[in-house]
Amino acid sequence: MPLEPAVSVRDVSKVYLTGDLRVEAVRGVSLDVAPGTFLALVGPSGCGKSTLLNLIGALDRPSRGDVVVGGVSLGALDDDGLTRYRRQTVGFVFQFFNLLPSLTVAENVALPMQIDGRPAAAVRERVARLLEEVGLAHRAGHRPAQLSGGEQQRVAVARALANDPPLLLGDEPTGNLDTRASAALTALFAGLARDGRRTVILATHSPEVAAAADRVVRMRDGEVVEDAAAVAR
Amino acid sequence: MTGLSALVRRVTWPSVAAHKGRSLLTLAGIAIGVGVFLAVRLANVSITEAFATSLDLFAGSAQLTVSRPGFGLDETLLPLIEADPAVARAEPQVVGTLVTADPAREILLVYGIDVLRSRPTTASIDAAGGDGEDQGFLGEDDALLVTRRFAQGRGLRVGDRLEVLAGSRRASLRIRGLLVPAEAEGERGGSASGFLERTVAVMDLAAAQPLLDRVGRLDAVALTLREGADADAVRARLTAALPDGVVVDRPIERSGQVDQMLDAFRLNLTILSLIALLVGVLLVYNTLTFSVVQRRREIGILRAIGVSRRGVEAAFLAEGVAYGAAGGLLGVLLGLALAKGTLGAMARTVSVLYLHAPVERLRVDAGDLLLGLAVGVLVSAAAAFAPARAAAGVPPREPIALGAARSDTGRAGRRRARRLALAGLAILTFAGLLAALPPWHGRPLGGYGAAFVVLVAALLVAPVLVLAVGRAARPLVGRLGGPAARLAADHFVQGLRRNAATVAALSVSLAMLVSVWIMVSAFRATVEAWIAQSVRADLVVTPAARLGGSREASLPAGVVERIRALPGVAEVDAFRGADVRYEGSPIVLGSGDLALQLRRGRLPFMAGTPADVLDEVVARRGALVSESFARRFDRWVGSTITLDLPAGRRSYPVVGVFYDYTTDRGLVVLDAATYVADTGRRDVQSAAVYLEPGADLEGARRSLESLFGPDAAVAVVSNRELRARVLDIFDQTFAITFALELIAVVVSAIAVVNTLVASTIERQAELGILRAIGLGRADIGRLVRAEAGLIAGAASLLGVVVGIALSLILVFVINRQAFGWTIQYHLPPEALATAAALAVGTALVAATWPARRAAAQPIAQAVRYE
């Protein structure tokens, strides 16, 4: 008996209207992802992988179909419900790091927990542990601008993990990093999925990231064209 | 040039069009600034010209006029004037006011002319049923000509009767013809000179003299000279031949007198109107600064493909000029509408404070409209200068940075802010020096200069204040509003330039509001205390026409004696007054029973003690002068003033200076006996009645009212009613001032909207991230509002401090120099609190739309924004 999927994408389409132009970025995609999977979404630019990721992360709503995460249908949630979902269930890592430049590293990591209303002491403790985990404890008081790209992205991962979400999403997280930093980060993601409690979905162009994943889903023109377990782990 | 036009077409215009909301708000700001400026100017010009054209009505072709300010010209002098060989025609006239007896209490400016000698030069007469060429019918002593528009407005026809209050009587006049503008017989007739104010009326001289209390006297004789006559020689001859005090001048000089009288009032309004314009300038600066920050990348690319620094600078200047031209055009339209709306209020104020202003039509000439447009363009171009320079400084290939706008809070930005603040503090010394300057031709230019320097200092201090408030507020707002609010404090500091401009705009308008508020409130308290001391009578008897706005109406002869004889009346003080000239300037000469006034403690003295003063007034035939007189002419206790009065040239030692707030022209008070002896005038304008202790007020009022008979139009006003009336007039006077200040606050609210929208656009990605990591829409709204709150907080702080500084300048320099009034200074805490609350309220209201806009931003799009 297979486990209930962590993420279930059910016949999802997303249409963008720009002026008279109708662009179908995602066309009828269905996908079940088992808990603890490290999944890589690959495909050429504009194939719809970022859009699909945004739909799973509730940064956007599908035009058709539904996304079910942890047994909860996102389509059934109202605005507050979706906010709570983004705060507690998903962690997002972006290509351009997207740290808040005015906050220190520690403050950036603490932000999601503070938004969630956690007690200050618990926040402090968890920030320290997360920074330890991503190897940046010594950078806690620095501003993002003082960090290298790889370091900034590791802070972004720590921030994504702040509220201990069961689902971690990354949109080209290694796209702006050099080979070494990219490899380190890929290992970090793989490690996060390995304990089975957390599902990781990354949209990526990088063959190395794809190679590290448990499962690779290839998209083209908004559709899934290939879905395979990675050969090498 | 073609390069510039291509830049404007391809770069400037798309950006303006893409940010429609911001562009429209900026236009609105300039339009309001230009509109207010133009409205005040048009109203001022219209009032001045109304006086000039009403003087022209019967003296349009006259080269000289002979008059006797204050007391009228003895009509027996007319033959002497006509005897001069150079005089071709001498047209005697009286000019006075009648008030309609109906509740509307409209004031008619009535010309009494000799129908056999004069006909109006700027109007013709339409006498339905009469012969237009023969004005003989006008000789009947109840005949009246009114303007056709006046008659139509009231549904009156030739032959109908009009009930009026004339002095302290009622009179019934018959309309015998209608006045029509001379140049165009059409309804909306003609050029300015052919225009007739609706409330002008004409009577025969012989009928008008008794009605206007001028039996045997003339207000003016208009002289038309023979061809080739030398006006200056005639003037010299007549001046020598006529008694002292008779003035022979050119008609233009008479309107000059009006100008002089209204000068301080007009200058004050003009300066206030400039504040709205200044706020508009800050708005343009704010918009363009943001535009530059937002388009650094685009500018870098343009520079990289070969556009010169100068080209970039010109394109941004062009944007400023375009805003100025379009906003100026809208402002001209707005100004016309505003001027139409406020002209009535301004004319009423002038009528109450100075003299009856028969104005209801707005005079507009193309020059004023062009001026409005030019002001819009010039101030916008000036405001665009600094942002254009900043744009020109963007290096080619500006890095495609994340959050490209964060360049102004680095160490250099902070250093610059500190330097500006130091400069601001330094120029305050200069403000102190300016404030110490004496008035220039009666105008407090040093005071206005000092106020301007203080405002500039406020602009210079704003950036440091933004840094300080942002830093100080961060932990506090973080504790109160959570991490999102702390981000607002960061945003506030990061948008240093933009926020500094907005804080400056809001604080300048608040400072003006606070300063005017403090000044008006202190002034009001001073006037209240002054009335309490100087108006002690239980009842005041005055002609009803006077309450209706007529300045010259007087009480029936012998009335004081009859009042004195009434049971319950202890004492009566008769007030006599006339508008006269001192050293060529209009002043008010008055008289009362000084012994009584000093005994009852009525005159609050600035210099001299009551007992000594009384002795000297009687023993040395001394004069008391008001503070405004003393300041204006620099005549204090010990000086002597010389007046040309009907009895001849008379000199009076100044024996006391008293506080007075009834006129800024200056008031000279003589003892009643001296006044009557030297002016030959016995008519009394009002009587103050003191009752016996314990007498019944209402009973006394009734017996006073019945004293005058059914035809009388005399008002009996209680002390309380009189005080209320004075304060009413006071409040009315400052209503325009307040309105102007509130407009400035509205304009600055636009700056706040602009800034917040800019801030949210600039931080679109950041707000997207915050939403992605779990901040709700409501939280985003709170964040924007928190930033608005910080703007308001900084602006309140600066606005209140600068407002207090400005109020000191207003009270101790500007008002004292312009009007000669001492105001007892005090700070009304409610004004400061309300101003701060207004700032916060304005900012929060202004934040509504930007907050909603930011919260509605799609997240997926926002995070891709980089």
Q: Which of A83, A86, A98 is opposite residue B765, by nearest beta carbon?
A: A98
Residue B618: predicted pLDDT:
78
pLDDT interval class at B102 (50, 70, 90): confident
Share of chain A above pLDDT 90, in %: 56
Please state whether B147 falls in left (phi above 0), alpha (psi between -120 and 50) or beta: beta
The CA distance from B769 to the nearest CA of chain A, in Å, is: 7
Residue B190: predicted pLDDT:
37
CB atoms within 10 A of CB B649: 12
* B774 touching chain A per CB within 8 A: yes
CA distances from B205 to A94, A212, B196, B356, B489 (A): 93, 112, 20, 20, 76
Task: Find out whether B78 and B233 touch, Cβ atoms under 8 Å.
Answer: no
Write the DSSP assignment of B746-798 as a string of letters: HHHHHHHHHHHHHHHHHTHHHHHHHHHTT--HHHHHHHHHHHHHHHHHHHHHH
Range in B6-10, B278-282, B523-527 the model is least confident about: B6-10
**CB-based contact B860 A60, cutoff 8 Å:** yes
Share of chain B above pLDDT 70, in %: 92
Locate B114 and state its tokens: 């000799």
Bridge partners of residue B592, in order along the sequence: B671
pLDDT of B11 strictly over 90: no
Range in A178-187, B340-349, B607-616 the model is least confident about: B607-616
Residue B137: predicted pLDDT:
67
The residue of chain A with its CA nearest to that of B859 is A59
Range in B49-63, B273-287, B568-582, B836-850 the model is least confident about: B49-63
Locate B829 and state its tokens: 């805490």
Element (H, E) at B821: none
Q: List CB contacts (< 8 A) between B770 and chain A.
A: 100, 111
Residue B16: predicted pLDDT:
79
The residue of chain A with its CA nearest to that of B403 is A101
CA B650, CA B668: separation in Å to the nearest integer?
Answer: 13
Q: How many beta-carbon pairs below 8 A join chains A and B? A: 77
CB atoms within 10 A of CB B601: 11
Residue B447: predicted pLDDT:
92
Q: List CB contacts (< 8 A) between A163 and chain B.
A: 774
Share of chain A above pLDDT 70, in %: 97
CA B139, CA B474: separation in Å to the nearest integer?
Answer: 84
CA distances from B88 to B57, B251, B791, B799 (A): 19, 17, 72, 64
CA B438, CA B450: separation in Å to the nearest integer?
Answer: 12
Task: Find out whether B799 and B763 touch, Cβ atoms under 8 Å.
Answer: no
pLDDT interval class at B219 (50, 70, 90): confident
The residue of chain A with its CA nearest to that of B486 is A103
Task: Find out whether A60 and B859 touch, Cβ atoms under 8 Å.
Answer: yes
Angle, helices B296-304 vs B309-353, to 10°: value is: 140
pLDDT interval class at A200 (50, 70, 90): very high
By three-state DSSP, how is residue B566 classified? coil
Task: Find out whether B39 and B342 touch, Cβ atoms under 8 Å.
Answer: yes
**CB-based contact A87 B774, cutoff 8 Å:** yes
* pLDDT, mean of residues B64-82: 88
The model's pLDDT over A61-94, given as tens digits with 9 standing for 90+, comes to: 999 999 999 999 999 999 889 989 998 999 999 8
Q: Which of A51, A83, A96 is opposite residue B774, by nearest beta carbon?
A: A83
CA distances from B830 to A41, B522, B537 (A): 64, 12, 33
By three-state DSSP, how is residue A223 classified? strand
CA B50, CA B62: separation in Å to the nearest integer?
Answer: 18
- Which of A15, A59, A60 should be substituted to probe chain B, the one whose Cβ sees the most B Cβ atoms within 10 Å? A59
Share of chain B above pLDDT 90, in %: 23
**CB-based contact B772 A101, cutoff 8 Å:** no
Which of B161, B180, B167, B41 is closest to B122 using CA atoms? B180
The model's pLDDT over B640-697, given as tens digits with 9 standing for 90+, comes to: 999 988 888 899 999 989 888 888 888 999 988 899 999 888 888 889 999 999 888 8
Residue B866: predicted pLDDT:
43
Global pTM exceeds 0.90: no
- Where helices occur in B8-68 by DSSP H, the ranges are 13-18, 20-59
Residue B350: predicted pLDDT:
77
* B487 touching chain A per CB within 8 A: yes
Task: Find out whether B467 and B496 touch, Cβ atoms under 8 Å.
Answer: yes
3-state SS string over B234-295?
A: HHHHHHHHCCCCCEEECHHHHHHHHHHHHHHHHHHHHHHHHHHHHHHHHHHHHHHHHHHHHC
3-state SS string over A19-86?
A: CCEEEEEEEEEEEEECCCCEEEEECCCCCCHHHHHHHHCCCCCCCEEEEEECCEEHHHCCHHHHHHHH
- ipTM value of the model? 0.87
CB atoms within 10 A of CB A121: 8
- Check residues B738 and B31 and name the one with the higher pLDDT: B31
- Check residues B598 and B231 and name the one with the higher pLDDT: B231
Task: Find out whether A56 and A169 touch, Cβ atoms under 8 Å.
Answer: yes
CA B663, CA B654: separation in Å to the nearest integer?
Answer: 19
